[in-house]
Structure 1
Amino acid sequence: MSADLFDFFTHHELPTPTVGIDEARRLMSENFGFGCEIAELGSQQDQNFMVSDGEGAAPIGILKLSNPAFTEAEIDLQDLAAQTVADREPTLRIPRVVVGPRGPMSGWWDTTQGRIHARVIAYVSGSTLMGSRHLSPRTVARMGELAAKVSLALRDVRHPATARVLQWDLRHADRVIATLLPDEPDPEMRRLVSAATDAARSRLDAVSARLPQQVGHFDLTDDNVIAPSTPAALPDAVIDFGDVAESWAVGEIAVTVSSLLHHDGLTPADALPAIRAFHQARPLSDDEVEALWPLVVLRGVVLVLSGRHQVRLDAQNGYADAALDRELRILQQAVSVPLTVLGEFTRRAVGLAPRSRPAWNGVPFIGGLSDAVVIDAGTTSPLNDEGRWLDPNALDAAALAALDTGAQAAIAPAWRPRLTGAALRTPEVPATVPTALTVWLTAPVTVDVPSGGRLVATAHGFTVASGEHELRFHTAGSEPGVVPARTPVDVQLVVAGTDEVPLRVDPRYTTGWQILAGDPGPALGLPATALDADDDDTLALRERVLAEVQEHYYADPPRIERGWREFLADLDGRVYLDMVNNVASVGHAHPTIVEAANRQMHLLNTNSRFNYRVIADFAERVAATLPDGLDTVFFVNSGSEATDLAIRIAMAATGRTDIVAMREAYHGWTFASDAVSTSIADNPNALSTRPAWVHTVDAANSYRGVHRGPDAVEYAPEAVRVIDDLAAAGTPLAGFICESFFGNAGGVALPDGYLNQVYAAVRRHGGLAIADEVQVGYGRLGEWFWGFQQQDAVPDVVAVAKSVGAGQPIGIVVTRRDIADRYRTEGYFFSSTGGSPVSSAIGLAVLDVIEREGLQENARVTGAHLKARLLGLADAHPIVGTVHGSGLYLGLEFVRDRVTLEPATEETAAICDRLLTLGVVMQPTGDFLNVLKIKPPLVVTRESVDYFVDALDRVLTTGW
């Protein structure tokens, strides 16, 4: 190596230059012939200024005063690397040296602090990912893609200065740590970094000699990429080539991954999209995968020690001081999962062959268990019906019940996710996969210690060590070697000498943990359990056999297989808070509903044209909730069918075909209901494709419609004029249809008096007023059982569904007897399964539950609390435009500007995705898909809505 090149180990104290702003401005003029305004920026070892050509003007570049320890050759290397990446990756924005009045603004300055190299590097517009805000999986993947692009672009660069020795070169991490560690004053910090370093080095040493080397950026971090300043934009610029050198090529992605780990909610598993994206473009070898996470750990150690050292050396360096917490979190996350686990987890994730797993092939330690009762604690197990999974003792009770009925033993297998005992409202992915088999015995059993084996008492029970394996029995208070009776004992099979393996692990790391712990079943005389779960092809099958237009929530949805009250559970045993599901009106799997369906199914379920009691009882109960006169009921199977039938009734009753509908509404997918649906979110061509018999009036949205605030009183007179003008033109309408509470827009209340004025005009010309209550009816609004009651109006025809059946497909149309009789002019009506015995029994049970459990009152009280808390978010988050709605039908509208009301469409989608990672199911609505449609099951509790708002506040605070 040239003696002139920088060597950290002879210059490990690198205080940044501290040239004053006035001096820097003067030297810009003297050396580059450029008069400018400058403002100082942060840096760890260089000094940076933002440069503009006048006060308030847009920046033109970054003035970088390189640390005097760096040579001209090294600066030339940095410029060469930037130029090479720019030439070879034209899709990336790479800053170049700015050309000024006297040529490129680069050269040596004589400053009050000595001779310093100065360059003005072109300003790249946009923003970095600096800070610890959350990064979406798309952004994480993009970081890996950028690292691969840069690595490939620089793979054949040669330059004399690549031999520089930097503290950030991970080949020298152990020397850097050895240099800095003795000066670290905090003993706890010394212990942390020493343990981390030892673990990383022990794994890295096995492969380091085989790792390929090349020139790289090696600082492609969240601070050194820039994304355009547009919503949901991904980084497309790479800056700061100050750490260019030759090192292990895998260090490029290791540095990038480390920079992700301090961001809110990011764990090693969440960095996987970056690793996959890198591997896809620039495949990692087996050795590089083995080295990756140890290098991430060493990077974290170097960051922590260097940052703390720099702050002690340069107390005025606010940039370095501000980074200390972030750097410590990187290290803490990097060591949060054992490196062996992360290595295998990553190998599997990128498609490399798995390592061998521990497996017991010897004589069982316990005999007589081959006929043990196997207890399934998974999501779909009957054990977890009726919310029993919330009982932490449910699994134990089931096992003891099996013993009481004659079983010699009961077991719950290892490596199968357990819902039983799962926690509610978890912002992190919970540990639901057991690494241990749990066994219950009818009588105590002494373990047979094999010849050459050892029995060791431990803090958790005892361990039988035999050859390469250890069988660990977790049982408190028992004699070593004895498995007690009628007590749950967790048994693990682990590689001998392995540190403690948690009894439950995050399902994302299952394949990684299986490199350390295997199936203990054969060691207990039980059949082996397959450790590799079958790939879940549910989503692929759905997309193959269902029409593409029949969409699903989320691009990569969890597989939901159980619901209870306001909760949903996936196959991995994670529980989500369901804040969007008004279909499950009285809660998922409500026992009263289940029992009603079960009982009626035992009796009769047939065509609704037969004569049976329950359909009449149900119709009578529904009619009793409505104003006098609305007493005649039609049963169908969905909201679409209900609004379709309501329209046909209006046409038949009046002998006319023209319908007036409100714009921006959704009424269904059948021919007639779709014809009057004008929401462009559901159909971008909705307005231009309406049939001639459909006429529309403005959406009466007082927040973002054509008339806002107090001016919203204009909507009703304008709608009346449309109706009057149609009659005057010789096309009097058959009816007017609208949601009585503007549900599709997120629960926007219609202006006071709107329905009374419009209904009066409709009736004046002989038409019928249709209230679409599909979304808001049945007590969801809290103050009112029906949405039209908020308007103190009475329609002629009411269509309702969703809440009616609590998940059972039931649609209802209610009208007056005289109107219903006129429908006979169209012939007869029937719906084979509309109002079937089972549907009717369920419908009656839903009304019983709403009344008995006070769910309308819960909607009023809990909904009011929820709305107040949502309104409170507006004080801290400018993206919150307003909160619509009443009770448990609310809409939180997101805008980019509270004056222009530009909808935050992309942001809303990303917010919903981030909420899912925090355990909350939420989806957007509205024509611009910028409104959260908040309509949870009516049983939702105050604790749950508080969790939702807290999660939402976290998302709005830390990013999405």
Structure 2
Amino acid sequence: MTQHFDFFEEAALPAPEITLTQAAEYVQATYGIHGDVTELGSQQDANFLVDAGARYVLKVSNAAFTREDLEAQDLAAARVARLEPDIQVPVAIPGPDGSTVQPIALEGRPTYARLVTFVAGDVLSDSRYLAPEIVAALGDLAARTSRELAGLADQVPPRSLQWDLRNAAEVVTRLADFVAVPGGPDAVLAAARTAAKALAPYAGTLPLQVIHGDLTDDNVIAAVDADGRRRPVGVIDFGDLAESWSIAELAVTCTSLLHHSPDPSAILPAIVAYDRIRPISDDELAALGPLVVLRAAALAVSGQQQAKVDRDNRYATENLEREWAIFERATSVPLEVLTELIRASVRPRRERRTVDGSALLWIADDQPVVPTPLDLSTTSIDLHDGLFLVEGAEAAAALKQDGSVAVAVPYLQPRLTRTRLNSFEAPASIGLGVEVFAVQDLELRAPWAGVIERHDDAVALKGPEGMTSWLTGANVSAEGAVDTGEVLGRLAAHASLRVQVSDLDTRPPFFVPASLAAAWAESCPDPTGLINPAAVPTRAASREALLDRRDNAFATVQEHYFREPPQIERGWQNHLFDTEGRSYLDMVNNVSILGHGHPRLAAAIEEQWRLLNTNSRFHYRAVVQFSERLAALLPGQLDTVFLVNSGTEAVDLALRLAWANTGRRDIVAVREAYHGWSDATDAVSTSVADNPNALDSRPSWVHTVAAPNAYRGQYRGPDAYRYGEDAVASINKLAEAGHPAAAFLSESFYGNAGGMALPDGYLRAVYAAVRRAGGLCIDDEVQVGYGRLGNHFWGFEQQGVVPDIVTVAKAMGNGHPLGAVITTAAIAEGYRSQGYFFSSAGGSPVSCVAGTVVLDVLRDEQLQENARLVGDHLRTRLLELANRHPIIGAVHGMGLYVGVELVRDRSTLEPAPAETAAICERMRELGVIMQPTSDRLCVLKIKPPLGITIADADFFADALDRVLTEGW
């Protein structure tokens, strides 16, 4: 087969010049189709959308391409369509002579055009953010397309394309001078040379096949799925079809992903998915990183050239910034690190590289020093009470280690001291070396023979086999060549020394993000052998391994948050921290009302544990003090307290009190509510989000009234008062039928439905009806009580009523298992008809102390007032977001009890549950813990610790704005 197009014989490839009128006339004359024509972007061709009811694309090819080239492209598209029917591709429309390729008369060289079917959807590049599942789906699409194109051997004309990665290094060399970015020409040339050198050992053995050659996010069509994400469904533009390295297809795809995330590890799901369908050989894995860099460099220089030779090509000029960002991200880590990152995603290493040498640290009496390990991880006991956020925390922790000459932070230990609060990006928390803190003066001796080089704040000791030891923080006086054991200098007392080993040509960073740490570790092996020659390398258990153990030992019906949950091992104030040192703003933990790790609460609980912890049948002070404090917070007649372990137990006891006092069984409850897991509380819980069978499995003694949802229920807005009328009618009807209710049970502020206020006057009307029938009114304050509303300490205060029985839990112990039922003395005494009540741990000394301290802190830190002030600010921010993002249907709530309801349509109020779940996943990636709630699971449940700040509220709102703007 003869050679057709050769890029290197073309000075430039400006797109064909054709007007909209010419395009419309050509389509009508050639295909008999009359329609509206609009221009589509292309770098070297001219493309037009033709809308004639049915939609088509007119592709006017660059004059440099032959008829045979274009026929091969149509053949390839047809093959993919036939063998992969769920991949949508453009199908060519035959012209009058039956051929899909037709001549078009333009000035200059002979030119050809084709009319192809339009593949509906958006290009994937329209999504600024791509979730890992979408990246994986793109890798899957690339693999299946590549698999089918492999069957086109000898059916595609030979072509020497600009985009064939076998030519990439030469393309960069020829076009580098077109780059206008300062320092750009040198940068792309250096990157291309490095990549070409790394690729050279594999270039002759990489498998060849026909590939699409441009399977990028620009040429992948996506359809919006149920979760509101664009998912790949089709492939367009086979214009770069040619024989090349098979693995180049994946390299092109991966390179296009780099502008969606600053973290190069974001491409890995595509590689893993591709490997499942088209297994990647070791040579291909080694070549993939260099090919990504070559593609990025070629893309950058080609875009700059095209923008200069074809100045009217908006497509080319508009892509320049994005193409340069792709290049910068492809080269943001050394090529060795990128290659290892890619390789390990498919074949992870089991062993960690280490180095050995003579002891580095010595003391005056000629003894080598082995530092004591210093723990700066998330679980370090030296970092309690937020000490990890204090400047100098690492040195302070080092000084706590009594009796040590020196202490050292282990290699690759994630440091909590490196965390950053309210940050969209994970911190560089992993040390690629060992850091030593000296307690007294130490002497440094060369661990191996080498040559000393000085670099700003560090000293490099060039050692054997290209290995370099980097020493930062010491006073190194040695110069030039040194022998093993020769004195290098001194490390002063209370100073720190960073010891790092690397085989890279350039100095590596000392700290890197967790996502890149393992890849960097291959180029920066463990230097612990220079500090402690007897050390045995250890590897921490992975988050995934722990999750597997959880699933094996912990009933999986006890679900966890998030698809790939971070391993959370510490909380402090309004934040949670995972084992990689990443911080998360906690916006859902209504149990921890004071925030996490409160030192006052921890100290009080510890002190009481050391004194006494038993059950409330014994006589002790704490239970009396706490019961008095709790009762004093309620209206005078509610003066008697039962202490239990949880909200479930509290509501269960409240129901039993109602049954005992009325001699009746029937309970009226509000639909879409959750009250607990016991047999009785589950019976009155009607939330299908918690129990899909809730409505069908209710016993006969449970009667429900409609959820008083003024946003999406039967009665909306000003008509919401009618919920109260209907509930009263149901209660009266029940009494008239001879089954008067023992009690009416509801939340005083509708929590499970999404933090929604009840209609004004609702409880006043319902309580009156219940009491007329001789029943009791039970108020479930488990979620809303304790000042969360800001304007009110109890939810029932917002309704202007006083219940007969109040149930409380969650916030009472700030995470310690504690609940309560508060009622009148008469109602409490009525329980005696059932015997006596006892809860083994309810009212224990420790629980009572915990409850008392929570009340003290709420008062002393003015957390209810903070809930009002920060809640008002947050609500203002969220309402502003609602003005800009149609998916926000409503902002419910008061204080720090807020729900953001997400809908697909503001008119129909169609819930957006899949979108809500996906948004929560994306919020976690940005550093916010958020979860859905309501029966429709379309409400963001915003119930944070009451101490959150204005800055926290702004970070949450900014994160939500970013997700709704960029996608999820």
* Shorter-chain TM band: over 0.9
Q: Does the CA contact (< 8 Å) of 1:368 and 1:525 recur in 2?
A: no
More moved, 850-859 vs 6-15: 6-15
SS at match of 1:39: strand
The question of 1:70 aligning with 2:77 is answered no
Number of the residue aligned with 2:310: 314
2:640–2:822 Cα contact (<8 Å) kept: yes
Moved more, 232-241 or 811-820: 232-241
**Alignment match of 1:293 (pick from 278, 289, 293):** 289
1:347 paired with 2:343, answer yes
Shift in Å, 1:368: 3.5
The 2-side partners of 1:623 and 1:526 are apart by: 64
Query: Following the alignment from structure 1 to structure 2, what is the Cα–Cα distance between the partners of residues 736 and 149?
Result: 60
Task: Choose which of 251, 265, 270 in structure 1 pairs with 2:248.
Answer: 251
Q: How does 1:120-131 map to 2 (within 5 A)?
A: 120-131=115-126
How far is 1:106 from its partner?
4.3
Question: How far apart, in 1, do the equivalents of 2:359 and 2:410 lie?
Answer: 19
Counterpart-to-counterpart distance in 1, 2:403 and 2:351: 41
Matched, 1:522 2:529: yes
Counterpart amino acid of residue 465 in structure 1: K
Residue among 460, 473, 476 paired with 1:475:
473
Deviation at 1:427, TM superposition (A): 1.0
Cα deviation, residue 69, structure 1: 1.2
Tell me the residue number matched to 1:775. Answer: 783
Greater displacement, 897-906 / 126-135: 126-135
Q: Does 1:90 align with 2:85?
A: yes
Q: Distance in 1 between matches of 2:191 and 2:951?
A: 39
C-alpha contact 2:706 2:723 (8 A) present in aligned 1:
yes
**Does structure 2 retain, via aligned residues, the 8 Å contact 1:34–1:100?**
no
Aligned residues: 952
Deviations 1:58-102 (A, max 9, x none): x42211111121111111111111112222222322221246898
Preserved contact between residue 365 and residue 525 of structure 1 (Cα < 8 Å) = no
Does residue 410 of the first structure (1) align with residue 414 of the second (2)?
no
Q: Aligned equivalents of 1:187 and 1:772: distance in 2?
A: 65
The reply to whether residue 457 of structure 1 matches residue 433 of structure 2 is: no
* Deviation, structure 1 residue 422: 2.2
Q: Which residue of structure 2 aligns with residue 947 of structure 1?
A: 955
SS in 1 for 2:643: strand
Partners of 1:851 and 1:353 lie apart in 2 by 54
1:650-702 CA distance string (max 9 Å, x none): 11111111111111111111111111111121122221221111111111111
Distance 2:448 2:880 in 1: 69
Distance 1:340 1:806 in 2: 48
Residue 726, structure 1, aligned to residue 718, structure 2: no
Does structure 2 retain, via aligned residues, the 8 Å contact 1:260–1:266? no
Please provide the CA RMSD for this pair.
1.9
Report SS of the residue matched to 1:518.
coil
Q: How far apart in 2 are the matches of 1:839 and 1:737? A: 26
Counterpart selection for 2:104 from 86, 96, 109: 109
Identity %: 48
Residue 13 of structure 2 is matched in structure 1 by: 14
**1:645-664 equivalent positions in 2, closer than 5 A:** 645-664=653-672
Q: Is 1:882 the counterpart of 2:890 in the alignment? A: yes
Q: How does 1:892-903 map to 2 (within 5 A)?
A: 892-903=900-911
Q: Secondary structure at the match of 2:782?
A: coil
Moved more, 472-481 or 756-765: 472-481
Q: Whole-Å Cα distance in 2 between the matches of residues 451 and 556 of structure 1? A: 44
SS at structure 1 position matched to 2:218: helix
Partner of 1:834: 842
Q: Aligned pair 1:509/2:512, yes or no?
A: no
Cα 1:101–1:648 change in 2 (3 A) is farther
* 1: CA distance, partners of 2:424 / 2:448: 48
Match 1:206 to one of 201, 207, 232: 201
Alpha carbons of 1:391 and 1:23: their partners in 2 closer, same or farther (altered >3 Å)?
same
Task: Give the Cα separation in 2 of the matches to 1:694 and 1:756.
Answer: 21
Deviations 1:349-391 (A, max 9, x none): 2125579835124565647455432211111110111111112
Determine which of 706, 716, 724 is the counterpart of 2:714: 706
2:483 paired residue number: none
Instruction: Tell me the alpha carbon deviations over residues 779-822 of structure 1, each in whole angstroms, 9 at most, x when there is no partner.
Output: 01100000010111111111111111100111111111111111
SS of the counterpart of 1:207?
Answer: helix
| TM norm structure 2 | 0.95
CA deviations over 1:140-199 (Å, ceiling 9, x no partner): 000111111111112231235442111111110011112211333444221221232222
Q: Give the aligned partner of residue 325 of structure 1.
A: 321
* Alpha-carbon distance in 2 for matches of 1:294, 1:262: 18
Aligned counterpart, 2:485:
none
CA offset digits 1:210-248 (Å, max 9, x no partner):
211111112111122223333336212222211111111
Give the 3-state SS of the residue equivalent to 2:452 in structure 1.
strand
Conserved? CA contact 2:178–2:301, under 8 Å: no
User: In the alignment, which of 255, 271, 274 is matched to residue 275 of structure 1?
Assistant: 271
- Identify which of 576, 586, 596 aligns with 1:588: 596
Q: Deviations over 1:283-317 (max 9, x none)?
A: 11111111112111111111111111111111221
Number of the residue aligned with 2:745? 737
CA distance in 1, matches of 2:842, 2:447: 68
Q: Which of residues 140, 143, 150 in structure 1 aligns to 2:145?
A: 150
CA contact (8 A) 1:21 1:40 kept: yes
Cα separation, 2, equivalents of 1:449 and 1:592 = 49
Distance 1:442 1:685 in 2: 64
SS at match of 2:124: coil
**Cα gap change, 1:12 to 1:775, in 2 (>3 Å):** farther
Q: CA deviation at 1:875?
A: 1.8
The residue aligned with 1:23 is 22
The letter of the residue matching 2:617 is R
What amino acid sits opposite 2:332 in the alignment?
A: S
**Paired position in structure 2 for 1:2:** 2
Q: Does 1:133 align with 2:134?
A: no
Deviates more, 1:805-814 or 1:32-41: 32-41
Assess, with a 3 A threshold, how the Cα gap between structure 1 residues 442 and 157 changes in structure 2: closer, same or farther.
same
- 1:49 corresponds in structure 2 to 48
Secondary structure at the aligned position of 2:806 is classed as: strand
Partners of 2:558 and 2:192 lie apart in 1 by: 52
SS at match of 1:155: helix
Q: Is the 8 A contact 1:735 1:767 kept in 2?
A: yes
CA distance in 2, matches of 1:110, 1:456: 67
Matching residue of 1:394: 393
1:448: Cα distance to partner?
A: 2.6
* Contact 1:132 1:326 (C-alpha < 8 Å) held by counterparts: no
CA-to-partner distance for each residue in 1:686-725, whole Å, 9 max, x for gaps?
A: 2122111111111111111111111111111011111111
* Mean CA deviation greater in 233-242 or 68-77: 233-242
Aligned-partner SS, 2:116:
strand
Q: Which amino acid aligns with 2:333?
A: V
Amino acid aligned to 1:380: T
The residue that corresponds to 1:548 in the other structure is 556
1:684 equivalent to 2:681? Answer no
Amino acid at match of 1:802: K
5+ long unaligned stretches in structure 1: none
Task: Return closer, same or farther for 1:732/1:46 CA change in 2, 3 Å cut-off.
Answer: same
Deviations 1:926-955 (A, max 9, x none): 111111101111111111111111111111
Match of residue 912 from structure 1: 920
Contact kept, 8 Å, 1:483 with 1:489, in 2: the verdict is no
CA distance in 2, matches of 1:122, 1:454: 66
After superposition, residues 154-233 of structure 1 pair within 5 angstroms as 154-159=149-154, 161-232=156-227
Write out per-residue CA displacement over residues 93-122 of structure 1, whole angstroms, 9 at most, x where no aligned residue: 222124689867642222466643222211
| Aligned mates of 1:479, 1:131 — CA distance in 2 | 57
Indicate whether 1:79 and 2:74 are aligned: yes
Is the alpha carbon distance of 1:817 and 1:442 closer, same or farther for their aligned partners in structure 2, counting shifts above 3 Å?
Answer: closer
Aligned counterpart, 1:61? 56
Contact 2:359-2:445 within 8 A present in 1 as well:
no
TM-score (norm 1): 0.96
Residues 371/484 of structure 1: CA separation in 2 closer, same or farther (3 Å cut): closer
